[in-house]
Structure formats: structure tokens, C-alpha cells
Structure 1
């Protein structure tokens, strides 16, 4: 985990050793609460990066007390999505602009080490709404919406994440919705989002006994970490072994009694 002088206001995660032949896909991350602390999800994001990804999280490194812990429940939707906010979904696209420039810059440590044609945009809670907003970017390959979904009533989004149900029609590539059970305040919103998706490969999955806080702060990101890494390995790297968790008549996640899984356009 580090910060780059040329990208203030963000935190980077990458394998410590960059001397390898395989290029790193790019993962863009938005925090719960639309926080501007890039180290908030350090455990979860470090696990992802360790599998060969450059992760760029919104926000600089805050006090160590911000890392891990518990996540508050999803807030009620505001009356306006134009109120002041700690971060904005447009920061995700700007992070990808930076990564693309670094990949082309012969003086950068990341020169020719990134695969900027393979990009995931992800986020938790409010960050999930920011991911949905950013998913309209044609450069995005896959979207991961975590403990989140567009509200069924009101404006739909939050400040920094001005989304409505119409935003779902602009998603492309593929999408994974992963969240908590009925105790998760975003559960019904995510269910409704998934129900509206018709044209792209999509999965909606949640385990029993997990709420809005997910498993981000458990070792290696807990069960969420395992599922998301497998999704990225499949959708960004074409890993057939990883695809078995989601695809096929007897997909691995489908056969796990702890999980509930619904799929569309996935064979």
C-alpha cells in the first residue's frame, strides 16, 4: 500500500515485486460512506492486489484507526444528491486516466506493466453506488457492487453517487452484486437492481449471517475476498478454474449451502 506523488488523494495497492511478465489489470475502488480514506479497506484490497492487480482506492491514507473495524448501516437516501460529499464517482475515471498515462510513461515504475483494457470498478455501500455511476465508462470491463443497490424510492443515489434505476441500463461487460442477507439495509435494493438487468452476465449472491458490513475486515477479506478475487480472475484474466465458482450447472458458489445465488446470462 502506498501513495503516488502524481496522484494525490488516492491510495495504491500492488504486488511488492513488479518484475513479472504478466500485466496487471486495474481495479478501481470506492469506499463505504463515500469516505476519502484509501486505507479503510486495507485488508480486503491488499488481498486483491496480491493476486496480480493494481488497485486504486479513492482517498489518501488516514489514521490507522480508520482501518478495519465495523461498518455502519446503510444511511437513508437524502432528498438531494447534490449535497456536499467526501468523494465523487468521477474520481474513479480520473484514477483510470492516471493509470493509463503511467502505463505509457517510460519513466514510471508502472510503465508497460498494466493492462488498462481490463478494468474493474467496485465499491461498498455508497461506494457501490459510485461504482454503478462509473460503470457507464466504456473502458470498464466488469462491475462489482457490494452491499449496495440503487434505492427503490427517492432519488436513488447519494451525494457523489447520482444514480437512478436508469443508470443500470448503462452498465456493460458483466456485474457481480454481492452483499448481506435480509439484515443488510441494501439487500432489497440490490435484489431489485439484479431483477432489472437483462442483457449482460450478472450474478446476485449473499451468504447467511452477514450484514451490511460484509467481511472486508476479516483476514484476507473473509468470504467476500475469496469470491471477489475469483470473479476478477475470471472476468479480467480469463481464468477457467476461477470461472467454476460461478459458471456451469454445478457452480462452486451455487453448491455452497451458506450462499444464495441467482444468475443471468451465465452458462
Structure 2
């Protein structure tokens, strides 16, 4: 039976069975809560039968939506639980985005709790990967196919020319690796950065400092203060980036776990939404949080910000 939101995202990507089995909606809603997020388009979390191993966040009703930019997400610890950051990702989706997270639905209590710390280098590159950075571009391939499929509720609803890739901690390294794809327009590296020495990355995220040269479009590094184990790595990454618009920002009193599990994703949720609104939708009001001599984060005494190549 179709879910309550079958006229919206629950009908996304309906795939006709080639066998005689009864037709089923491709996406089944897995979040029992009402559509959420502070944006104009309250969003839901679902999982596609045609795309196992991923979790989708999008506005609950698509009929009146303009095209949705795509946000590709990789989890802290490179985990494969797509609902781990559901509050944060639902907030983003509610502002009119199609968000696809690596990992199917994990335990109902997976969101929140303590976040894994940064493993000290040298890191084993022979341990099995929990997920792989290539899953991010696989997700973009899927979204692109749905945008072209007349049987999909996402038909002509996805802006495949406006794509962001982002991730937390180990997921931030996966985002850097995936950002070499020319379809990526902006990269968000969160509580993360490439080790200066002693490792070539993590399993599933094989990046080195040389990988930074493949970044294009623009990049935002957002993380914690000096208590964050990734703080110095992110600072060093930022200093090495010379040719594209780049921002490095962090608030006092926030560590490696960020604010992802606070309502609306906390202060990180607000900053990330503004970055996406600017870099993917051209919103100049959102740009003022980062650009100009009197930028919003520049005036916020809790935040520290460094910038280069902004226009």
C-alpha cells in the first residue's frame, strides 16, 4: 500500500517489476516522525528498494518543487548507517535539496551518542573499509538516472548541475576523494582534513595532500576548535588550497563531534545550509554569512573564519 506521502518522495523512482510480482513503491518511508526541518519544504527520510545501501532525504511533497540540487553525504567513521545524521540531513533537505547518505537504515537509536575520535596515525590501510568514497558518485549516478526516468517522481526534478559532496571526519576524507569528479560544484569537509604525514588516508578514503589539487568549484572546511583532533589537519589543508574559493571556519566550544545531533543540526546546520544556498542556488543573502568585510561569521564573536579567492 502506498504511504501517506506517496504523492511526494514516497513515489520517487518507481520501478516497474520485469517479473509478475505485484508493483511496489520504490521508496518506503522509514522515519515515523512528521516531515521536519526549518526550511520551506518539510522533509522526510526514506530508503529506495532500487538503491539499497543508501538513505534518501527530500521534501515530502515534490509536485510543486523546482529542481532540487543534490547533496551527497559520507558519515563519520566512514560508517554505513544512513540514518546516523538524520536530524542534520533532514534540515538540509527541508531547504529544497535531494540529500543522499551512504548507508541503509541502521538501528533506530543510531543517531546521536558519542562520536568516534580521530584515530592516530599511522592508520592501517589494510583494514576492511566500512564504506567507500566511490559510493558518493554512485549516488549521483542514481539521482541522474532518476531525473531522466519518466516513471520516477524525480523525473525532471533534480538539478544535476548543482551538486555538493560533504562528510564528517572519515566521511570528510571520502568527500575530498569524490570531489575530483567534475560534476561536483562544491565540497564541504567537516571536522576533517588530510593527515600531514604517516598515512595515505583511511580505508575507503585513499587521500593524500596531493588530492587537494583536484578540488574544484569551491570548498568549505568547517570543524571544531583546537580540541578537535582534525583541527590542525583542516587548517593545513586550507593553507595548501590556492586556486579556488575556500573558507575555513570553526566555533569556540565545539569539538570533533560537531553539532550534527542538535535540533536542526545546531550551528553547523545553519552554516552549511547558507553555504549550499550560496554555492548551489546563488543566494546572495546567504553569501553574506561568508563574504564581504563585514560577513556574518566575521561579526560572530564565537566563530573564527579565514577566506581566500572569494568573489
CA change 1:78–1:10 in 2 (3 A) is: farther
Rounded Cα–Cα distance in structure 1 between residues aligned with 2:202 and 2:65: 41
Deviation at 1:95, TM superposition (A): 0.3
Matched, 1:85 2:85: no
Residue of structure 2 in register with 1:213 after alignment: 257
Q: Deviations over 1:147-175 (max 9, x none)?
A: 00000111241000000000000000000
Q: In structure 1, which of residues 37, 45, 61 is the aligned counterpart of residue 105 of structure 2? A: 61
TM-score, normalised with respect to structure 2: 0.84
Structure 2 unmatched runs, 5+: 1-44
Q: Deviations over 1:33-60 (max 9, x none)?
A: 0000000000000000000000000000
Question: Matches of residues 193-212 of structure 1 in structure 2 within 5 Å?
Answer: 193-212=237-256
Rounded Cα–Cα distance in structure 1 between residues aligned with 2:165 and 2:123: 26
TM-score, normalised with respect to structure 1: 0.98
Report SS of the residue matched to 1:25.
strand
Residue of structure 2 in register with 1:181 after alignment: 225
Matched, 1:227 2:239: no
Rounded Cα–Cα distance in structure 2 between residues aligned with 1:232 and 1:71: 25
Q: In structure 1, which of residues 19, 33, 36 is the aligned counterpart of residue 77 of structure 2? A: 33
Q: In structure 1, which of residues 99, 107, 116 is the aligned counterpart of residue 143 of structure 2? A: 99
Q: How many residues align?
A: 267
Greater Rg by CA? 2
Matched, 1:254 2:302: no
- Relative CO higher for 1 or 2, CA cutoff 8 Å, sep ≥ 6? 1
Matched, 1:126 2:162: no
Structure 1 unmatched runs, 5+: none
Rounded Cα–Cα distance in structure 1 between residues aligned with 2:85 and 2:121: 23
Report SS of the residue matched to 1:14.
strand
Residue of structure 2 in register with 1:75 after alignment: 119
Deviation at 1:19, TM superposition (A): 1.4
Aligned residues of 2:57 and 2:98 also touching (Cα < 8 A):
yes
Report SS of the residue matched to 1:97.
helix
Rounded Cα–Cα distance in structure 1 between residues aligned with 2:170 and 2:310: 27
CA change 1:31–1:263 in 2 (3 A) is: same
Aligned residues of 1:38 and 1:62 also touching (Cα < 8 A):
yes
**What CA RMSD, in Å, does the superposition of the two structures yield over aligned residues?**
0.9
Rounded Cα–Cα distance in structure 1 between residues aligned with 2:161 and 2:122: 35
Matched, 1:45 2:89: yes
Residue of structure 2 in register with 1:244 after alignment: 288
Aligned residues of 1:180 and 1:206 also touching (Cα < 8 A):
yes
Query: Which consecutive segments of 4 or more residues in structure 1 shift more than 2 A?
Result: 77-83
Aligned residues of 2:123 and 2:201 also touching (Cα < 8 A):
no
Report SS of the residue matched to 1:253.
helix
Deviation at 1:21, TM superposition (A): 4.3
